[in-house]
Amino acid sequence: MTDARITTHPILEFKEGRKVRFTFDGRELDGYEGEPIAAALHAAGVRVLGESPKLKRPRGFFCAIGNCSSCLMTVDGRPNVRVCTEKLREGMCVTTQRGKGVLFAND
């Protein structure tokens, strides 16, 4: 999909899932089903995943295993999703989170 994807590797073989579409802040992007959302975003060239609550500094992923909370985003309306471990599914709506997130906006 982009040159960030490793297609051939001397040691590893990558079994990619089904190709799916999702949106990031309204932009349509491709990724593979079941890979972490952050991996799909990174492969699509998206490295800035959010902003720090106070100084609004850009935030990317850091640990990639769900420990550090640097990659929190809003996914299908749900805030504070760790996109480094959350698996990508067809049609997901991924948006940049501002602030600490709102749980019951529509109630």
Partner 1 sequence: MRTTEICVIGAGPAGLCAAIAARDMGARVTCVDSGDRPGGQLVKQTHKFFGSRAEFAGKRGIDIARILAEQIENDPLVELMLESTVIGFYDDGAIGIERDDALTFLKPARIVCATGASERMLAFPNNDLPGVYGAGAVQTLMNVYGVRPGKAVLMVGAGNIGLIVSYQLLQAGVEVAAVVEAMPQVGGYDVHARKIQRAGVPILTSHTVKAVHGTRTVEGATVWALGGDFRPIPGTEQHFQVDTVCLAVGLTPLADILWQAGCRMAYVPELGGHVALRDEDYETSRPSVYVAGDLAGIEEASSAMLEGTIAGLAAARSLGHSTPDFDERLAAARADLAALRGGPKGEKVRRGLDRLMRLGREVGVVA
Partner 2 sequence: MRDKPCQESRTHGRIPGAERRARGPCVVMECFEDIPCDPCHDACRQGAIRPFDDLNHLPEVDFDKCNGCGACISVCPGLAIFVVDETWKDDLAVVRLPYEFLPLPAPGDVVAGLDRSGRRCCTAKVIRVEKTKRHDRTAVVWIEVPKALSMEVRHIRVGGSARGLHEG
Residues that bind partner 1 (CB under 8 A): 3-6, 9-12, 14, 16, 35-36, 38-39, 42-43, 47-49, 52, 57-68, 84-85, 87
Is 26 among the residues that bind partner 2 (CB under 8 A)? no
- 10 versus 99: smaller Cβ distance to partner 2: 10
**Interface positions, 65-104, toward partner 2 (CB under 8 A):** none
Give the span between the Cα atoms of 47 and 57, in whole angstroms. 13
Give the span between the Cα atoms of 39 and 72, in whole angstroms. 14
- 5 versus 21: smaller Cβ distance to partner 1: 5
Is 15 among the residues that bind partner 2 (CB under 8 A)? no
Specify whether the backbone of 38 is left (phi greater than 0), alpha (psi in -120 to 50) or beta. Answer: alpha
> Cα 94 vs. chain centroid, distance in angstroms?
7
Burial of 70 (0-12, 13-18, 19+ CB in 10 A): middle
CB of 13 to partner 2, least distance (A): 10
Residues found near partner 2 in the complex (CB under 8 A): 8-11
